[in-house]
């Protein structure tokens, strides 16, 4: 007979981040690029971004963020049932970054796998974790979003290198017997946006791409329009599933790609900026880590109190987009 499971709810029980020490400011970039601090800030809202040290890897950043999340949740590696890592800049194709984090944490033989949905990856991984917990199959799942984009950027390309940074965020998703936590999920991919953000890299590159240097390439204006539209669409859908309206939202945590995208999405949803969390000024776009780092900082800063209604949204390469809505119930 197959095992039977009791469906439950999934809440975020712990959170943590790990940010590289080195901050690269716009002033530093303007020394090598045809740009200025004023130009970058006016178009993106970014003033600095963190860049990984030579010894940093996506797995090492992710493992430290995971340790911080476990400590926040008051549990150890042996309490985990599964690890899901979101990254689009792994240090290797295999084994999975999640498997390396699993080893570095000292976990036993539990499941560990990666998710690649680019900048939406953190929310995709969180959604997958929530489904494992809500089904009753697992009680605690670790979600890690970690990126080292600085190594796949053309640092002579002003249109991309000013936007991205490195870092990791992590959360522990835990079962709850009460209807709290992650209540609404919207995942989607817009095929017409497939080529808006690309990074073919050098692994298994076909002959047609022989001249492609493997750097990240992006159609900025098209991404702006698509990101605003899709994040609003996904947020609206997730809120409807969660059973609350925009007027009831206490905090909106969007993907931290560009302040203009964030303000435009908030305006379309008629959300005042005092109910929107941003940290793009300090980190730039950390892709799959972005929403998880922002969630960690919002919680640490006291922007989330028990019972608060929360919406998180992201859009990225693919064109992937996602949103999660629910009530904050850390039980701490």
Give the Cα separation of 16 and 331 in Å (integer). 16
- Please compute the mean of the pLDDT values over residues 210-215 and round it to a whole number: 63
Task: Using a pLDDT cut of 70, give the percent of the chain over it.
Answer: 94
Closest CA to 102 of 152, 142, 55, 162: 142
- 213 confidence band (pLDDT: 50, 70, 90): low
Give the Cα separation of 214 and 25 in Å (integer). 25
pLDDT of 204 reads: 46
Q: What is the pLDDT of residues 18-39, one digit of tens each?
A: 999 999 999 999 999 999 999 9
- Fold (CATH) for 9-178: Peroxisomal Thiolase; Chain A, domain 1 (3.40.47)
Give the Cα separation of 98 and 195 in Å (integer). 27
Q: Just list the catalytic residues.
A: 119, 255, 285
Q: What is the pLDDT of residues 103-117, one digit of tens each?
A: 999 999 999 999 999
- Alpha-helical (H) ranges within 206-289 are 220-242, 259-268, 280-283
Q: How is the chain split into domains, by residue range?
A: 9-178, 182-327
Topology agreement, domain 9-178 and domain 182-327: yes
Q: What is the pLDDT of residues 247-300, one digit of tens each?
A: 999 999 999 999 999 999 999 999 999 999 999 999 999 999 999 999 999 999
Look-up of token digits 């608060």: 308
Look-up of token digits 């095992």: 3
pLDDT of 313 reads: 98
Q: What is the pLDDT of residues 45-100, one digit of tens each?
A: 999 999 999 999 999 999 999 999 999 999 999 999 999 999 999 999 999 999 99
- 1 confidence band (pLDDT: 50, 70, 90): very low
Provide the whole-model pTM. Answer: 0.95
Look-up of token digits 């859009």: 315
Q: What is the pLDDT of residues 114-140, one digit of tens each?
A: 999 999 999 999 999 999 999 999 999
**Model confidence at 207: pLDDT above 80:** no
pLDDT of 205 reads: 47
Closest CA to 292 of 94, 45, 77, 127: 127
**Model confidence at 210: pLDDT above 60:** no
**Model confidence at 176: pLDDT above 50:** yes
- The CATH number given to 182-327 is 3.40.47.10
- 200 confidence band (pLDDT: 50, 70, 90): confident
Taking residue 260's Cβ as centre, other Cβ atoms within 10 Å add up to 16
**Model confidence at 169: pLDDT above 80:** yes
Give the Cα separation of 253 and 256 in Å (integer). 8
Strand segments, DSSP code E, in 177-271 are 181-189, 197-198, 217-218, 251-254
């Amino acid at each position: 007979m197959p095992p039977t499971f009791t469906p439950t709810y999934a809440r975020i029980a712990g959170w943590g981040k790990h940010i590289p020490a080195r901050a690269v400011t716009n002033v530093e970039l303007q020394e090598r690029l045809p740009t200025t601090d004023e130009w970058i800030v006016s178009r993106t809202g970014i003033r600095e971004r963190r860049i990984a040290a030579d010894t940093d890897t996506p797995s090492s950043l992710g493992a430290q963020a995971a340790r911080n999340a476990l400590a926040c949740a008051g549990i150890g590696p042996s309490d985990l049932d599964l690890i899901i890592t979101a990254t689009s800049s792994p240090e290797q194709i295999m084994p999975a970054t999640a498997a390396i984090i699993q080893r570095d944490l000292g976990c036993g033989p539990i499941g560990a796998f990666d998710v690649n949905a680019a900048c939406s990856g953190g929310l995709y991984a969180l959604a997958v974790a929530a489904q494992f917990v809500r089904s009753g199959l697992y009680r605690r799942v670790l979600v890690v979003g970690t990126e080292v984009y600085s190594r796949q950027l053309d640092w002579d390309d002003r249109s991309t290198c000013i936007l991205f940074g490195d870092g990791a965020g992590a959360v522990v998703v835990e079962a709850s017997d009460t209807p709290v936590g992650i209540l609404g999920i919207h995942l989607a991919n817009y095929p017409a946006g497939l080529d808006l953000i690309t990074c073919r890299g050098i692994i298994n590159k076909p002959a047609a791409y022989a001249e492609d240097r493997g750097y990240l390439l992006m159609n900025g204006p098209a991404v702006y329009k698509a990101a605003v539209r899709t994040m609003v669409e996904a947020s609206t859908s997730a809120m409807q599933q969660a059973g609350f309206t925009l007027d009831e939202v206490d905090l909106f945590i969007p993907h931290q790609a560009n302040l203009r995208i964030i303000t435009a999405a908030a305006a379309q949803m008629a959300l005042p900026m005092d109910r929107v969390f941003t940290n793009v000024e300090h980190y730039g776009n950390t892709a799959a880590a972005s929403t998880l780092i922002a969630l960690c900082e919002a919680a640490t800063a006291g922007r989330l109190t028990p019972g608060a209604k929360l919406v998180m949204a992201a859009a990225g390469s693919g064109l992937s987009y996602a949103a999660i809505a629910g009530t904050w119930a850390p039980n701490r």
